[in-house]
Structure 1
């Protein structure tokens, strides 16, 4: 999706849902639900990202599927599921940085594709935000029964949980994150060094 198409769709959807619109036309909202919950992680590739609010995406579930060499385990995705919801962090970024965010998410390698979703903040404000979904949807299984080939690494899951705490996501949801099975492996040395591993996960 081109930048101009994104802006047009953003405006159309906002008008349809009577959602809030950012005053700054040079910025867009991004909904991060995986490692980009953590400020230090999103700033590696996107230093202009500014935390906006925690937010809830209804009608989707959190899951893990495609293997990431960077994380040495399966990466997070969201899958449409009417009985579920996903909490995440809303970030504001400069429009000019959309391409760098796309690159981080592997849009050019067909790892993820971008999608605009409707999210709600704890204060009840509704926003349209850009997020990313893996190109292959995994089948639904209980979080503690994910098969080994779809399990996230210990490092990746720790980053998600630390980011969830940092982003002030609900305690119940953070406890849910802790139920996911992991593969017992560490992420790549480069990401561990960038994020200051070992982490303190309380």
Structure 2
């Protein structure tokens, strides 16, 4: 049985996602309405990580992945401090997609991203054809000073 996962953070990058969940196959871009992207999830390294917050009139672009349903346990173990929730998406062709994604209540006051983590977001978004405006938004996210 296949499961449907919506990635909006570092799992946008195919090499990262497939390294974590070998059964994962990209299905294409999609958007989640009524939410905004933040980087306020506190990572284990103290840096900010991608997160979702309610945002009326806003949307978050990401990538829909198919994966073996049995791989949720593996992904849940990797995505610690996030909780998995069901979401309704709109695909790039206008189709409705039911998926699961992750969000977190473990927050940081310093949302700066590790530069390598940020590259995963930007490179993954570009590789999968997310809108140019979205890629520019990702490029503008705060980054830790070297």
User: What is the TM-score when the length of structure 2 is the normalising length?
Assistant: 0.94
1:102-131 superposed Cα distances (whole Å, 9 cap, x missing partner)? 11111xxxx111000000111111011010
Q: 1:66 Cα deviation (Å)?
A: 2.9
Q: Distance in 1 between matches of 2:130 and 2:145?
A: 25
Q: Distance in 2 between matches of 1:125 and 1:184?
A: 41
Higher helix share: 1
Residue 120 (structure 2) aligned to one of 159, 162, 174 = 159
Kindly indicate which of the two structures has a greater share of residues assigned to strand: 2
**How many angstroms apart in 1 are the aligned matches of 2:2 and 2:78?**
18
| Equivalent in the alignment of 1:80 | 54
Q: Provide the aligned C-alpha RMSD in A.
A: 1.5
What is the aligned residue count? 146
**Aligned equivalents of 2:51, 2:41: Cα separation in 1:** 9
- Asked whether the equivalents of residues 41 and 107 of structure 2 are also in contact (C-alpha less than 8 Å), the reply is no
- The answer to whether 1:43 aligns with 2:18 is yes
1:125 aligns with 2:115: no
State whether residues 50 and 93 of structure 1, in contact with CA within 8 Å, keep that contact through their aligned partners in structure 2.
yes
**1:2-21 aligned within 5 A:** none
**Structure 2, unaligned stretches of length 5 or more?**
none
Return the structure number with greater relative CO, CA threshold 8 A, min gap 6: 2
Of residues 54, 64, 80, the one that matches 2:39 is 64
Shift of 1:137: 6.0
Structure 1 unaligned segments of length 5 or more: list them.
1-25, 139-146, 186-202
Alignment correspondent of 2:129: 168
Query: For the pair shown, which has the larger CA radius of gyration, 1 or 2?
Result: 1
